[in-house]
Amino acid sequence: MTVKQVGIIMNGVTGRMGTRQHLIRSIIAIREQGGVPLANGDIIMPDPILVGRDANKLQALAEKHKIDRWSTNVDECLADPYNIIYFDSQTTVRRVEAIRKAIKAGKHIYCEKPTATSTKESLELAELATQAGVKNGVVQDKLFLPGLLKLKRLVDSGFFGEMLSVRMEFGYWVFEGDWQEGQRPSWNYRKEDGGGMIVDMFAHWRYVLDNLFGHVKSVSCLGVTHIPQRIDEKGTPYACTADDAAYATFELEGGIIAQVNSSWAVRVNREDLLTIQVDGTEGSAVAGLRDCKVQHRVNTPKPVWNPDIENPFNFSEQWVNVPDNQIFDNGFKIQWELFLKHVAADEPFAWSLLEGAKGTQLADLGIQSWAERRWIDVPELSLGVKQDGETVYTAK
């Protein structure tokens, strides 16, 4: 048995996602469990170097988690052949330039979503990585949530019969920052800094819909900025230039209709921050982040519209929980383990920069639909189609 150390540049590791999900819950958790075992008995041990702007923050983070490598010089880290993976969880607008450089340096690429704020740039990254022959992957964490894994189990078992519709409700109240601090970074509400609900969340909805229910064929979207002014981390008021809610309908292959409401200006009156209801001819399900409940055709009550009497049904009691039947690990960690095996042992990994580009594409088309107040079809994205030297994508 050999232990293979894998040097990973972690850029943006001092941020919300970088510290909590990627460093603590993934890389440190993998190191603490003794690495990632391969089929031949060898072990992959991730060895991170923490990268950012602020030396004090990096040093404190490194010391707190007993990590001996940190740097404020990303170029030096890229020049070191020991580091074979470049990971990026910086704010979205910084990602493209950083990844271009890392590909040029021959590093394998793993990064947060969205990979860019335009389809053109997202696709460019996918193409550059493919041309350079480096392995690449994008975080698609929602696929590994226990609730969504249970939904996938139901889909794979044929539980729904013919799937008819999907209703997704996402969001919660994000405080404006005046009398209570906002619980998300202020750049999220400034378009010029890469913010916006559509750019942020359609990157998720694309892979959730594509992977669970059917490929997205068409989009109709209305974006809105409900809260026009917020207060930033320094207590300064700023204008919200990005959408903070999106009300969208998607047509999926197979004629499935998905309605997706996403809002940071909604108070939660549902069982979870994200709920997904699927209705099919044979049965229905509602999934949250961890739980999933079902109602089969044979258990479906027969309500009759009659407001003159007290409601005789307790609708929420008419559903049955889907059991865990397995241990669910952190979704970010599972995907890191799969990516490390992809890099070190050439195992398959489905969530490439091209899949990431599809998320950005859906966001772009959602914004276009909103601007033009019409349905927009989603062309199939493919790599390497050139027209006048430009990367283009074509509808098939």
Binding site for ligand NAD (CB under 6 A): 12, 14-18, 52-53, 89-92, 94, 112-113, 139, 141, 185, 200
Q: Between 239 and 273, name the residue whose CB sits nearer to ligand NAD.
A: 273
CB nearest ligand NAD: which residue? 15
Min dist CB 17 to ligand NAD, Å, is 4
Residue 161 · residue 276 · CB < 8 Å: no
Q: Between 91 and 218, name the residue whose CB sits nearer to ligand NAD.
A: 91
Q: Between 9 and 256, name the residue whose CB sits nearer to ligand NAD.
A: 9
Q: Kindly list the distances between the CA atom of residue 124 and the CA atoms of 99, 130, 249, 354, 396, in Å, as whole numbers in the listed order.
A: 10, 10, 28, 9, 20
Min dist CB 52 to ligand NAD, Å, is 5
Q: What distance in Å separates the CA atoms of residue 102 and residue 92, rounded to the nearest whole number?
A: 16
Min dist CB 297 to ligand NAD, Å, is 35
Residue 30 · residue 36 · CB < 8 Å: yes
- Give me the amino acid identity at 188: N
Helix-helix angle 197-212:353-372, to 10 degrees: 120
Min dist CB 328 to ligand NAD, Å, is 16
Min dist CB 130 to ligand NAD, Å, is 22
Q: Between 61 and 378, name the residue whose CB sits nearer to ligand NAD.
A: 61
Q: What distance in Å separates the CA atoms of residue 298 and residue 174, rounded to the nearest whole number?
A: 41
Q: Between 103 and 154, name the residue whose CB sits nearer to ligand NAD.
A: 103
Q: What letter does residue 213 receive in the DSSP assignment?
A: T
Min dist CB 138 to ligand NAD, Å, is 9
Q: Between 15 and 182, name the residue whose CB sits nearer to ligand NAD.
A: 15
- Give me the amino acid identity at 251: E
Q: Between 14 and 26, name the residue whose CB sits nearer to ligand NAD.
A: 14
Residue 299 · residue 109 · CB < 8 Å: no
Tokens standing for residue 56 = 């004090």
In 197-309, beta strands by DSSP E = 216-224, 229-231, 237-239, 245-252, 257-263, 274-280, 283-287, 292-296
Tokens standing for residue 144 = 């590994």
Min dist CB 58 to ligand NAD, Å, is 10
Min dist CB 267 to ligand NAD, Å, is 21
Q: Name residue, tokens 């232990």.
A: 3
Q: Mark out the alpha helices in 158-292 (DSSP H runs).
A: 197-212
Q: Between 344 and 363, name the residue whose CB sits nearer to ligand NAD.
A: 363
Min dist CB 12 to ligand NAD, Å, is 4
Burial 96-135 (b: 16+ CB within 10 A, else e): bebbeebbebebbbbbbbbbbbbbbbbbbbbbbbbebebb
Q: Between 3 and 268, name the residue whose CB sits nearer to ligand NAD.
A: 268
Q: Mark out the alpha helices in the chain (DSSP H runs).
A: 16-17, 29-32, 55-64, 74-79, 95-104, 119-132, 146-157, 197-212, 331-345, 353-372
Min dist CB 102 to ligand NAD, Å, is 14
Tokens standing for residue 87 = 């990971």
Residue 245 · residue 264 · CB < 8 Å: yes
Min dist CB 74 to ligand NAD, Å, is 9
Q: Between 18 and 283, name the residue whose CB sits nearer to ligand NAD.
A: 18
Q: Between 14 and 284, name the residue whose CB sits nearer to ligand NAD.
A: 14
Q: Kindly list the distances between the CA atom of residue 163 and the CA atoms of 119, 153, 256, 329, 382, in Å, as whole numbers in the listed order.
A: 30, 14, 6, 28, 27
